[in-house]
């Protein structure tokens, strides 16, 4: 699989030309059967994790040099979930004693950012990092914001809410989004206060991505069908459902500065496929029709990353790049 390029072009032909479509490229792996691309920055650097020949999962970086194994914190497995435009990476890793600890990776060094004073069962997971280096994730059962490796705040403190929560994304204004478990609803956190985002009448929602304009994406339950579908929160308005691909489920994972949203949705045959949705077009499009997959992140250049499932049932890391297509006689 290493170095092998797989391309498929989506494009609707017109009388004279075709405007273009997303071409997907298989990313190199660590010679194991499974891998996922989880995030991409505006320089085109991608992070995720791949299975090794030994059956371990290691956090990886894909850049112009190829693929780099980021190693672990002494245990078997590690997973990279976020990268900022300076190339600083966050995720979590097994330690030598079998615990899962959040890490930050910079200049070739993986640093454990787990608080050693926490009880031993309070494992930690870092999921996203912004331009200023603020990190969000979960410690134990609570969403947290790390302002520095040794300085973090609990997102629930001072909010009046109680119970477990998860933080999934952060923008450059330090707005954090995630999911408050006890109320079973999406939240946005800003300036020390957590606010539950509006829903459509049924108390179940998730927030997974936010851009610098404060637009939030995730999933809400459609009151007509009682099924979860991909949605966007924009300002103080109720969430807007993005539509479907004809199936029973949808979820949005990320949104970029120009309003391109990516995620996953089910089709009528119950297969789960990656989608993209542009706010300017107001229509959901499938990214591939060669099997199931998930789109995890999109950068401000419109490059999408995620993973697809091959004929053998293995998940493979993928990036999609928009390509203009023309007829030969143009």
**Domain coordinates in residue numbering, the chain:** 28-292
The CATH-assigned architecture of domain 28-292 is 6 Propeller (2.120)
Phi-psi region of 184 (alpha: psi -120 to 50; beta: other; left: phi over 0): left
CA gyration radius, the chain: 20
Q: What is the pLDDT of residues 123-144, one digit of tens each?
A: 999 999 999 999 999 999 899 9
Using DSSP bridges, classify how beta strands 18-26 and 165-170 pair: parallel, antiparallel or unpaired: unpaired
Return the pLDDT at 120: 78
Give the pLDDT score at 6: 37
Q: What percent of the chain has pLDDT over 70?
A: 92
Write out pLDDT tens, residues 188-216: 999 999 999 999 988 899 999 999 999 99
- Please state, rounded to an integer, the average pLDDT across all residues of the chain: 90
Give the Cα separation of 167 and 139 in Å (integer): 10
Report the percentage of the chain scoring pLDDT > 90. Answer: 78
Handedness of CA 222, 225, 227, 230 (dihedral sign): negative
């Amino acid at each position: 699989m290493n170095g092998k390029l797989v391309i498929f072009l989506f494009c609707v032909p017109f009388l004279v030309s075709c405007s273009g479509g997303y071409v997907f490229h298989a990313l190199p792996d660590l010679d194991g059967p499974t891998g996922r691309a989880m995030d991409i920055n505006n320089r085109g650097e991608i992070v995720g994790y791949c299975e090794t020949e030994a059956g371990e999962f290691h956090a990886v970086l894909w850049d112009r040099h190829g693929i780099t194994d980021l190693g672990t914190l002494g245990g078997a497995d590690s997973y990279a979930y976020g990268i900022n435009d300076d190339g600083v990476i966050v995720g979590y890793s097994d330690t030598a004693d079998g615990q899962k600890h959040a890490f930050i990776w910079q200049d070739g060094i993986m640093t454990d950012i787990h608080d050693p004073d926490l009880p031993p069962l309070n494992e930690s997971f870092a999921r996203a990092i912004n331009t200023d280096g603020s990190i969000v994730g979960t410690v134990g059962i609570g969403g947290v914001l790390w302002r520095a490796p040794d300085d973090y705040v609990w997102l629930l403190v001072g909010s009046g809410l109680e119970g477990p929560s998860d933080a999934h994304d952060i923008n450059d204004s330090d707005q954090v989004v995630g999911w408050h478990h006890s109320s079973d609803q999406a939240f946005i956190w800003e300036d020390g206060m957590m606010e539950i985002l509006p829903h459509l009448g049924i108390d179940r929602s998730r927030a997974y991505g936010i851009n610098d304009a404060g637009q939030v994406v995730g999933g809400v339950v459609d009151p007509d069908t009682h099924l979860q579908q991909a949605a966007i929160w924009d300002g103080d308005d109720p969430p807007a459902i993005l539509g479907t691909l004809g199936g029973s489920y949808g979820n949005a994972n990320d949104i970029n500065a120009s309003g391109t949203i990516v995620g996953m949705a089910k089709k009528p045959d119950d297969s789960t496929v990656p989608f993209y949705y542009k706010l300017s077009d107001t229509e959901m499009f499938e990214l591939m029709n060669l099997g199931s997959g998930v789109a995890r992140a999109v950068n401000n250049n419109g490059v999408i990353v995620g993973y697809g499932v091959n004929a053998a049932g293995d998940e493979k890391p993928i990036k999609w790049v928009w390509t203009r297509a023309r007829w030969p006689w143009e």
